[in-house]
Amino acid sequence: MKTIAKLGLTSLMIIALLFSCKKADYASEESADLKMATDSTAVSSSAAVEQKDSKQKFIRTADIKFKVKNVVKSTYAIENAVTKFGGFVTYTNLQSNIQNQIKTKISQDSTLQTTKYTVENNITIRVPNTQLDTVIKSIAKQIDFLDFRVIKADDVSLKLLANQLSQKRSAVSEKRVEKAIDSKGKKINDIMQAENALANQKEANDNHTIENLSIQDQINFSTVTLQLYQNETIRQETMASEKDSAAYKPNLGIQTIDALKSGWYILEAILVFFVNLWPFVLIGLGGFFIYKKYVKK
């Protein structure tokens, strides 16, 4: 019986050990999956990689929003990485947004100001299309939590071809119009109409040239838009309290002297007022004596 009991106890211990090992393996797999979610390879995409042997022309763009530990430090790290790989920053807007601000009086002359705020930065960068994948992987090192990432590769090969063909047609039309002006343009009206047509052809040709240069620039340098933010931060600062108006009032003695002065000024004003009325008083007295001496008799 003791042997059977020992075998049973041993079996239970083995089963418990196997179960704990399996649970540990599952936890490690889950941790690995979570780590993969923030790994740089999970942020990049094959759309960001240039195919060297491809004849297609792509305009590549990326839009990424993510949380970081510290927006300011991550901003400097990203800007340094962009410069390192031949890119440049075209826009950056680093700002703090105050969510709440509370002032608490902690002493007669001190106040504790508690500010809750978030820091964010919107960045637009241009990087060589050959370095887009590398730059995105460098940026991914700053990610604490990824909100989203959108990477697009728009094929503009046909657009470039269409513009080139339009340029050729415009060039041919220009030559024909120039030849017509030189050989057949006799009247001033005919010459003016031909010159206007030639100017329109040249303008259309220039527009196609500029558009092709713009497209080629977007092909050579990919545009990446980044939205960085961090957790809400609390900042506390002790500052001097603002005194109320009563604190600035003079003492009772000074107020009494000021009241006496004010009263004296009022009395002077009254006396001056009555003195200014002396013509009316004089006329009134004269009228009274005339009435009493003549009218009454």
Quick one: 222 exposed, middle or buried, by C-beta within 10 A (0-12, 13-18, 19+)?
A: buried
Domain assignments of the chain as residue spans, ordered by start: 1-37, 46-261
Q: Which helix (H) or strand (E) holds 32?
A: helix 2-37
For helices 132-140 and 71-84, angle between their N-to-C axes, nearest 10 degrees: 160
Contact 223, 151 (CB under 8 A): no
Q: What mean pLDDT, rounded, does the chain reach?
A: 77
Reduced DSSP (H G I as helix, E B as strand, rest coil) percent helix, strand, coil of the chain, to 5: 60, 25, 15
In angstroms, what CA-CA distances link 170 with 173, 179, 185, 205? 5, 14, 20, 6
The string of DSSP codes covering 119-130 is EEEEEEEEEEGG
For the segment 153-173, the average pLDDT, to the nearest whole number, is 77
For the segment 263-272, the average pLDDT, to the nearest whole number, is 86
Residue 243 has pLDDT above 90, yes or no: no
For the segment 146-168, the average pLDDT, to the nearest whole number, is 83
For the segment 280-291, the average pLDDT, to the nearest whole number, is 78
pLDDT the model gives residue 263: 85
Q: Which helix (H) or strand (E) holds 226?
A: strand 221-229
For the segment 88-110, the average pLDDT, to the nearest whole number, is 88
Quick one: 93 exposed, middle or buried, by C-beta within 10 A (0-12, 13-18, 19+)?
A: exposed
pLDDT the model gives residue 122: 96
Return the number of other C-beta atoms located less than 10 Å from residue 87's C-beta. Answer: 20
pLDDT the model gives residue 124: 96
Contact 132, 61 (CB under 8 A): no
What the block records as the tokens of 48 is: 């960001």
